Amino acid sequence: MKVTVDLIANGEMLVVGRLVDATNASLLAQIKNCDPQIKVVYKPVAGERPLWDFSDGSLAHREYAAFLFSDIGNFDLVPFTVLREGPFGFGMVQEWVEIDENVDVVDYGQGQDNQLRKMALFDALINNTDRKFGHLLVDKSGLLKGCDHGVCFHSEDKLRTVIWQFAGEQFTEEELELLKTLEELDLESLFSPYLTLQEISALKNRIKGLRVSGEFPLPSAQWPAVPWPPV
């Protein structure tokens, strides 16, 4: 694994295709001169489209912040991700996940898998505005990962997700302990290179708010609860 992450972080990339369904430039690339082959998703900042509610040129940093939060919280829900230079400039590079084509993610995403429960908590914490069924990646071993976290960590509540089946359920003792651990972290030092101080403060408030409430959040009546399209 160390060799793989080192190559993703430092290896020369060859762009071999484009993910045409993506809103922003999302390129499929290979790391040159390695066996077995390593594929990655490369999203250059130069290919980001401006959004009215997120600052320009910030999406790659939010993608990396989502990976960092998944890593420090032991969620293990985001593929290995780095910020680095590439053929089309600086951007986000993420390990490619080979999905199980036999898994219907719409059916799966409405189920009760504990990995989905963990994803629902993760999304509530990072304030994910775009958790679609198509952003759920299930590999052939049944391991769940999530992708496309460029529109997360907004300072205003904007949670939009297709995973609402746990809404209102009480947190387990393990989940409450996780929230307590996250609350004790120095989030300013960890995230100040990637998020604004206002966004980091909002993240801290979400962690504390969920711990105090003791339950998964309910859909808001103030904005659409499900992204469109949901797939």
Q: Write the pLDDT tens digit of every residue in 128-156.
A: 999 999 999 999 999 999 999 999 999 99
Q: Write the pLDDT tens digit of every residue in 70-104.
A: 999 999 999 999 999 999 999 999 999 999 999 99
Rg (CA), the chain: 17
Residue type, 138: V
Predicted confidence (pLDDT) at residue 222 exceeds the cutoff of 90: no
**Please, what sign has the CA dihedral across residues 9, 10, 11, 13?**
positive
125, 127, 129, 132 alpha-carbon torsion, rounded to 10°: 0
Domain edges within the chain: 2-213
Q: Which of the four CATH numbers 1.10.510, 3.30.450, 3.30.420, 1.20.1250 does domain 2-213 have?
A: 1.10.510
Residue-averaged pLDDT of the chain? 96
Q: Write the pLDDT tens digit of every residue in 4-50.
A: 899 999 999 999 999 877 778 899 999 999 988 999 999 999 999 98
